[in-house]
Amino acid sequence: MLNVELNYNGDSESPTAKLIVAAYDADGVITDNIKTFNISGTQISDLNYTKPENVKTIRIYIWNDLNIISPLSTSVKLNIE
């Protein structure tokens, strides 16, 4: 299970955003296990992500939406043992 503490301060152009969790294998190739969550403020509804097998890295991104991909934050990289 992935636990994330988040405080997203949106503005008038992006009051809500998408939190994207992407898993990568040992070669740095993205797997097909990508999850997206709607976020606003400190509330995240249904953030339920379980790391798949054979994953070495997880990256967390915050983008404005999935149609016009514009990062709203730097990504966070988590190395998995």
* pLDDT, tens only, 21-69: 999 999 999 998 888 888 876 665 557 777 788 899 999 998 888 888 8
Q: Is residue 71 part of a domain?
A: yes
> How many whole angstroms separate alpha carbon 10 and alpha carbon 42?
10
Greater model confidence, 5 or 40: 40
Residue range(s) defining the domain that contains residue 49 = 17-79
- Is 40 within the bounds of a domain? yes
Count of structural domains within the chain? 1
Q: Is residue 7 part of a domain?
A: no
Instruction: Output phi, psi for 73, to 5 deg.
Output: -160, 165
Q: For residue 1, is it within any domain?
A: no
Q: Higher-confidence residue: 80 or 27? A: 27
Asked if the structure places residue 2 within a domain, the reply is no
Does residue 60 form part of some domain?
Answer: yes
- What pLDDT score does 30 carry? 92
Higher-pLDDT residue of 72, 26: 26
Q: Is the dihedral of CA 38, 42, 44, 45 positive or negative?
A: negative
